[in-house]
Amino acid sequence: MRFCLLPGDGIGPEVIREGVRALKAVGEIFGHAFEFQEALIGGCAIDATGSALPQATVDACRSSQAVLLGAVGGPKWSDPGASVRPEQGLLELRREFGLFANLRPVRTSPSLSGLSPLKEEIARDTDILFVRELTGGLYFGARQETENGSAWDTLIYSEAEVERVARVAFVAARGRKKKVTSIDKANVLASSRLWRTTVERVAQDYPEVKLEHVLVDAATMHLLTRPRSFDVILAGNLFGDILSDEASVLAGSLGMLPSASLNESKFGVYEPVHGSAPDIAGKGIANPVGMLYSCAMALRHSLGLEKEASALEQAVEATLKAGARTADLSSENSLSTEAFADKVLEALRRTSPVLKV
Ligand code: NAD
Ligand code: IPM
Ligand code: MN
């Protein structure tokens, strides 16, 4: 079972290090031999090779069952005039492997709702699964950066693109609270009207799932006023990007959220929702939870190791329940990235059965 590691930039290497330690511990406890190979992506790849996604990285991903990605980008590569940007590496990776379905779960378990800056009675018991379309829409349409002092981007969706990601949302909802909220801006955008009619057509194949449509501007407000009313939120590439960062407030911090980017096979790219966090990079204080939960998603979706995935999730949850906090969650007595992960490993070893003979 081979993982490809793409640490990337900023806090990417800091959180991925802890993800690897956790996976090695899971391997020891449950008797699996995980292999890891590392490759370059993003700004560090540009510095070393001139490309944000070198061919050697694509090859390394292809020979792995799952890819763990830290984060890309940072001020060093942010010059608007630059010909190549770290973020292109990420977009290329998604395109190369056809990773059209991006799953971003957002949860607050009862004992952890105090982590959110929102009132506890609002954030409590949130359990939302974002299904974000990841290889189309505004991110992948034609664009022209300058044209006589103007610039344009194109937002195109085909029925086929909407349909396949909508099916992922309905199938997920069937195994959850049986509700899909589809996000669009159908009162203005033609692509959103196609989105809406296509989702309605797909919904007919899932009669047990309730479908509601919410305009994206209203959705930003409902997310923070009635988060418990959502189950699966289905959104296009840009709206899903924005709403999932907003929803991180419900879980306490952007550092808490994991993601899985999937195609039709078992292969996937697993990464925290957050970016390279240049403001805290190098300080050893990044929250590793989003990365650790992403590792659990990799165990579950790409390796089929459900027991191992939930053991890791439970160890993270137990660590938070016991009061361990990184600096983004608490201004007092906060732990470093490594010290927090140490506690997760202790919890993992304490609560998981030793299966080795
Ligand atoms: P960011 O997500 O990096 O940071 C936003 C804020 O959240 C910052 O204050 C940061 O300190 C905090 N934060 C993020 N992750 C954290 C963690 N694990 N622990 C504690 N605090 C955390 O977003 P940004 O600052 O807008 O972007 C920085 C760079 O990252 C940009 O170049 C952007 O393009 C890139 N980016 C990359 C990815 C990715 O690789 N998947 C995702 C988002 C942004
Ligand atoms: C994310 C990031 C990326 C996106 C950027 C870095 C290209 O924000 O993974 O959410 O917008 O998809
Ligand atoms: Mn984002």
> Does 192 fall in a domain?
yes
Same domain for 68 and 93: yes
Same domain for 60 and 5: yes
Instruction: Ligand 2 pocket test: pick from 68, 69, 84, 87 the residue with the most ligand atoms within 8 Å of its Cβ.
Output: 87
Of 251, 274, 291, the one marking the end of a domain is: 251
Q: 35: phi > 0 → left, psi -120 to 50 → alpha, else beta; which?
A: beta
Same domain for 137 and 31: no
145 falls in which pLDDT band (50, 70, 90)? confident
> Does 8 fall in a domain?
yes
Which is higher by pLDDT, 147 or 91?
91
Cα–Cα dist 70/274, whole Å: 9
354 falls in which pLDDT band (50, 70, 90)? low
Same domain for 137 and 93: no
Mean pLDDT of 211-228: 98
Cβ 87 under 6 angstroms from ligand 1: yes
Cα–Cα dist 151/20, whole Å: 42
End-to-end CA distance of the chain, in Å?
21
**Across-strand partners of 102?**
132, 261
Same domain for 73 and 24: yes
- Residue closest via CA to ligand 1's atom 30 equals 275
> Does 302 fall in a domain?
yes
Q: At what angle do helices 216-225 and 237-251 cross, to 10 degrees?
A: 10
Among the listed residues 173, 128, 135, 175, the one whose alpha carbon sits nearest the alpha carbon of residue 157: 135
Mean predicted lDDT score pLDDT of the chain: 96
Based on the structure, what is the number of domains in the chain? 2
Query: What's residue 143's pLDDT?
Result: 93
**151 φ, ψ (degrees, to nearest 5):** -145, 150
Cβ 317 under 6 angstroms from ligand 2: no
Measure 76 CA to ligand 1 centroid, in angstroms: 14
Cα–Cα dist 47/93, whole Å: 18
- What is the number of the ligand closest to the CA of 74? 1
Mean pLDDT of 4-14: 98
Cβ 87 under 6 angstroms from ligand 2: yes
Tens digit of pLDDT for each residue in 88-120?
999 999 999 999 999 999 999 888 888 999 999
Which is higher by pLDDT, 113 or 135?
135
Instruction: Ligand 2 pocket test: pick from 67, 72, 88, 90 the residue with the most ligand atoms within 8 Å of its Cβ.
Output: 90
Tens digit of pLDDT for each residue in 286-338?
999 999 999 999 999 999 999 999 999 999 999 999 999 999 999 999 999 99
Percent of the chain predicted with pLDDT > 90: 94
* Residue 327 Cα to chain centre, angstroms: 21
Same domain for 238 and 135: yes
Same domain for 160 and 71: no
Cβ 41 under 6 angstroms from ligand 1: no
Tens digit of pLDDT for each residue in 254-277?
999 999 999 999 999 999 999 999
Ligand 2 atom nearest residue 245's Cα: 10
Same domain for 226 and 133: yes
Cβ 92 under 6 angstroms from ligand 2: no
Mean pLDDT of 178-182: 99
Same domain for 195 and 154: yes
- Residue closest via CA to ligand 2's atom 7 equals 87
Measure 286 CA to ligand 3 centroid, in angstroms: 17
Mean pLDDT of 231-260: 97
Paired tokens of 223: 């997310």
Cα Rg for the chain, rounded, in angstroms?
20
Cβ 274 under 6 angstroms from ligand 1: yes
Asked if residue 355 has pLDDT above 70, the reply is no
Asked if residue 190 has pLDDT above 60, the reply is yes
Cβ 345 under 6 angstroms from ligand 1: no
Query: What's residue 148's pLDDT?
Result: 84
Same domain for 272 and 178: no
Query: What's residue 106's pLDDT?
Result: 98
Query: What's residue 356's pLDDT?
Result: 46
Question: Which residues belong to the active site?
Answer: 139, 185, 217, 241, 245
Measure 214 CA to ligand 3 centroid, in angstroms: 21
> Does 259 fall in a domain?
no
Measure 202 CA to ligand 1 centroid, in angstroms: 35
SS (H, E, C) the chain: CEEEEEEECCCHHHHHHHHHHHHHHHHHHHCCCCEEEECCCCHHHHHHHCCCCCHHHHHHHHCCCEEEEEECCCHHHCCCCCCCCHHHHHHHHHHHCCCCEEEEEEECCHHHHHHCCCCHHHHCCCEEEEEEECCCHHHCCCEEEEECCEEEECCCCCHHHHHHHHHHHHHHHHCCCCEEEEEECCCCCHHHHHHHHHHHHHHCCCCCCEEEEEEHHHHHHHHHHCHHHCCEEEECHHHHHHHHHHHHHHHCCHHHCEEEEECCCCCEEEEECCCCCCCCCCCCCCCCHHHHHHHHHHHHHCCCCHHHHHHHHHHHHHHHHCCCCECCCCCCCCECHHHHHHHHHHHHHHHCCCCCC
357 falls in which pLDDT band (50, 70, 90)? very low
Measure 251 CA to ligand 1 centroid, in angstroms: 16
> Does 257 fall in a domain?
no
Measure 241 CA to ligand 3 centroid, in angstroms: 5
Per the CB < 8 A criterion, the answer to whether 319 and 105 are in contact is no
22 falls in which pLDDT band (50, 70, 90)? very high
Cα–Cα dist 38/9, whole Å: 13
Query: Whole domain around residue 205: which residue ranges?
Result: 117-143+150-251
How do beta strands 179-184 and 143-147 pair?
unpaired
* Greatest pairwise CA separation for the chain in angstroms: 71
- Residue closest via CA to ligand 1's atom 4 equals 277
Of 224, 251, 278, the one marking the end of a domain is: 251
Query: What's residue 149's pLDDT?
Result: 87
- What is the number of the ligand closest to the CA of 88? 2
Cβ 245 under 6 angstroms from ligand 2: no
- Residue closest via CA to ligand 1's atom 40 equals 71
Mean pLDDT of 233-258: 97
Same domain for 94 and 35: yes
Ligand 1 atom nearest residue 12's Cα: 40
Instruction: For residue 179, give the CATH number of its domain.
Output: 3.40.718.10
* Residue 151 Cα to chain centre, angstroms: 29
Paired tokens of 296: 């659990």
Among the listed residues 143, 121, 352, 346, the one whose alpha carbon sits nearest the alpha carbon of residue 238: 143
* Residue 190 Cα to chain centre, angstroms: 28
Asked if residue 156 has pLDDT above 60, the reply is yes
Query: What's residue 113's pLDDT?
Result: 85
Of 184, 219, 251, the one marking the end of a domain is: 251
- Residue closest via CA to ligand 2's atom 5 equals 87
Asked if residue 69 has pLDDT above 90, the reply is yes
> Does 61 fall in a domain?
yes
